[in-house]
Structure 1
């Protein structure tokens, strides 16, 4: 168990390539990694690292098949732990994020409009002030729209959830160019200024924010 903790701790330091954890270059060397685990031992554990018993996995297309089965209970434990160690501010941000991945995966997505065009799509709930990720859910396929969502049409249909704002509409500060009438949107749209939490979380993971 102690060795597996050291194996997981290697991820505390981010390198562009796994081999760089043991590089002797003066510029890129990380003394932490060699002190935790030798390179050959790390590669051996990486080859046989599993979080679930493959014999219990249902094949794709069978009823009850779980696309995230190989993540075992670790995925659920991590998701639940995120929200217990930090008390968020009042305003939260919920948005989608792309986790880069080019391997063979049935629910891998390609979005040419994103900076990270290939990977796993994740829905994230983050603190709007700090960018801390409170919850996230990996996208594994299409599903229906929640019944509790409130939808309105801007350039396309947008579904909104709120426990603060009501469904009543309010002026948004814009005027329709053809009719000159004041445009009204649901009051929750006024809270869009707090939607930067997920973007800030992504910047922190990428190392763009100190």
Structure 2
């Protein structure tokens, strides 16, 4: 595995786990998605946005996140002409009434988002503690929060905590696993890079 400091994670070009295997579909997906990287993204933003993403579509997710940033974030100086950019609001930066505003498009997720913002504000060390945890420990901690299920917790671990063994299974991934791996996916073979393997399979399928 290749680690690109400050940028993200990707598989080296001669990854033995793939090259030495007999999974023709995965080899094709890897060749097609060569260059895919898992970026180093802000942990708090990953927690909130993946909570918003549950049972949601891209347009509604984008709209909710944009409204949240414009309403509660800080305008970033130096934005391109005709474009306004805002920071992603941290705990203590979002008034309670925002979660009760239906125009935000949070839907049933609103009370969960309110709770996570309150928890983040009352537990300022939580994010740093998460960063120090193993994959299993982080999963256990995340799953104690309302509105975070196994799929979202795995997404947070993969994209926000860089646990590249996390393998989020959403509807699309479940369908491709059923389609190509009806006898079961060999998670043990790809232990340590399963999350990157998932990204190649996901990207290739969509």
Tell me which interval the TM-score lies in, with the shorter structure as reference length. under 0.3
More helix by share: 2
Structure number with the bigger relative contact order (C-alpha 8 A, sep ≥ 6) is 2
TM-score, normalising length: structure 2:
0.23
TM-score, normalising length: structure 1:
0.23
